[in-house]
Chains A and B, each alone.
Chain A
Amino acid sequence: KNEVEQSPQNLTAQEGEFITINCSYSVGISALHWLQQHPGGGIVSLFMLSSGKKKHGRLIATINIQEKHSSLHITASHPRDSAVYICAVLEGTSGSRLTFGEGTQLTVNP
């Protein structure tokens, strides 16, 4: 079992839909990151969370430390949101490196 599990693996939505991507982890962490990766492109850091909720534009990220679970929400989705979204945790003990989920491939159709 991976230390970081994401669901769903693949997600197809129509433009304008509300999207949720989930991340569960099994280790103690000091922070959780949500990353975005476009095809053939680099990786962009969207959020870093250690508690609560953060919002940036149409993106919202939440984390529940007790339940070891985080969600990334996209409101009013758009085709340009199509990308791979990756959850990564900074483990509390090792502290120096990220452990990544397998990613969620999101496709938003016009």
Chain B
Amino acid sequence: NAGVMQNPRHLVRRRGQEARLRCSPMKGHSHVYWYRQLPEEGLKFMVYLQKENIIDESGMPKERFSAEFPKEGPSILRIQQVVRGDSAAYFCASSNQGQGLYGYTFGSGTRLTVV
């Protein structure tokens, strides 16, 4: 059981490019959460997904950001036309129940740098 796998660990993109961040939840977990940690700031919720459904995207920026969790394969956080302000660590967590009432498992994060 490899836990929550995020890749890549580090991603460098030029302004205007697209960034794709992947998260494979823990085996048996069907709930995925994405969080962002801006430099020198705390973690902030972005989006909560179940397989093929977005449950809560109230933390997602209105433009350029999207997330999916298809029936097969990892969850993807996609950032189009990246800007310097998107540079941050993006963490994924998974749980086997909604609301994480039985706890969350976090991935190691993807550190995005926009140059």
Contact = CB atoms under 8 A, between A and B. Distances in A.
Say whether A associates with B.
Answer: yes
Interface residues of A, number: 23
Interface residues of B, number: 25
Nearest to B102: A48
Contacts of A42: 91, 106-109
A66 interface: no
Contacts of B104: 33, 45, 98
Interface string A57-101: 000000000000000000000000000001010100011111111
B98 interface: yes
**Majority secondary structure, A binding face:** strand
A45 B43 contact: no
B99 interface: yes
A97 B109 CA distance: 17
Interface of B: 33, 35, 41-45, 48, 55-56, 58-59, 91, 93, 98-101, 103-109
Given A43-B43, A48-B103, A90-B99, 13 more contacts: A31-B101, A41-B108, A42-B107, A42-B108, A90-B101, A95-B98, A95-B99, A96-B48, A97-B59, A99-B45, A100-B35, A100-B44, A102-B41
Interface of A: 30-31, 33, 35, 41-45, 48, 86, 88, 90, 94-103
